[in-house]
Amino acid sequence: MKIAIDAMGGDNAPKAVVEGCIDTANEYDIEIFLIGNEKEVEKYLNGVNPTKGKIHIVHADEVITGEDTPVQAIKQKKNSSMVVGLKMVKDGECDAFLSAGNTGAFLAGALLKVGRIKGIDRPALAPLLPTEKGVCMLIDAGANMDCKPKNLLQFAIMGAIYMEKVEGILSPRVGLLNVGTEEGKGNDLTKQSYELLKNSSLNFVGNVEARDIFSGACDVLVCDGFAGNVVLKNTEGLASTIFSLLKEELMKSTKSKFGALLLKDSFKSFKKRFDYKEYGGAPFLGIDGIMIKAHGSSDSRAIKNAIRQAKLLYDNGCIDRIAMDLKDTGVNDVEQ
């Protein structure tokens, strides 16, 4: 497998990106193309390639920053690390692209430079959320603010394929994010989407309220990008607050400090389940190539896990399977 990586994307680039790539290349059979300022990248490789030629540097003298306007940046910064990497996938030089950079530019660039899988109207961002039963895919988490019922059906199909192929879940349970569990709940979008999902071949378990996500009510949670992004940001904020409040309480007395010491390993394990670094990144499903969006604050461990995630998508042929299933289900005949 060959993967193109935006060496300049993210708060800790290029150091964390390069270090994550070195760790990955030493462990997996992957050929990595680090794209960015050659001198900066070489500095963190220490002038020595310890990975037996598995890491290559592709020079790009422009960088898309968080302040750049997404579409404008993609069109104007043609020699940026992000655009060069996307083009390598489009041209067949690499099998996947990964970036921790500007999310809007990443999504726009993937659409403009790589293109969609035939039959997909709207690609979707699909992070994994921790639950009592494992993980749940949230799709869409912010790529599409406004959606049609047909889009949500396509999201569900893509999410189910990922969870089956990558997470090994047979017949993944698909839920529709809603304000209640009853069939008639919600707005026009959720009501019409409910009917499409119910009449599909998917293992649809009905409406799922936000409070039930983390109890493991479903394996794939479908929604429009606006609602999904609210869920994602709320999850990140709540988890951070819970850990901060817990730490504050545990530090209040000698007795609680002693108890915390005894439970140290359990607390670490609990915190790890909510750590985005463990999940690597969110796949941008529906693009005709493997696209992984890593968190902007990714460290080397997060980058390594994001590359591992891309490899799982590649090894399990998820892109081809999505295209095949869309054709077989006749979802493109749906007019909604």
pLDDT confidence tier of residue 115, bands split at 50, 70 and 90: very high
- Residue 223, domain member (yes or no): yes
Integer Cα distance of 113 and 296 in angstroms: 21
Same domain, 177 and 158: yes
Same domain, 164 and 234: yes
Q: The CATH number of the domain where 75 resides is what?
A: 3.40.718.10
Integer Cα distance of 132 and 228 in angstroms: 20
pLDDT of 334 over the 90 cut: no
Mean pLDDT of 58-76: 96
DSSP 291-308: EEEE-TT--HHHHHHHHH
Q: Could you tell me if 83 and 56 are in contact, meaning their C-beta atoms sit under 8 angstroms apart? A: no
- Residue 323, domain member (yes or no): no
Same domain, 131 and 261: yes
Same domain, 159 and 224: yes
- pTM metric for this prediction: 0.91
Mean pLDDT lowest among 78-82, 198-202, 309-313, 330-334 = 330-334
Say how many domains are in the chain. Answer: 2
- Residue 322, domain member (yes or no): no
Q: Which range marks the domain in which residue 67 is found?
A: 1-120+286-317+330-336
Same domain, 266 and 292: no
Same domain, 239 and 226: yes
pLDDT per residue as tens digits for the range 228-253: 999 999 998 888 888 888 888 888 88
Question: By C-alpha distance, which of 71, 26, 69, 66 is closest to 45?
Answer: 26
- Residue 325, domain member (yes or no): no
Same domain, 137 and 243: yes
Same domain, 111 and 230: no
Same domain, 198 and 60: no
pLDDT: which is higher, 188 or 253: 188
Question: By C-alpha distance, which of 80, 142, 143 is closest to 111?
Answer: 143
Percent over 70 (pLDDT), the chain:
95
pLDDT per residue as tens digits for the range 28-42: 889 999 999 999 999
In the chain, where do the E strands start and end?
2-6, 31-36, 55-59, 96-99, 124-125, 128-131, 134-139, 173-177, 203-208, 220-222, 281-285, 290-294
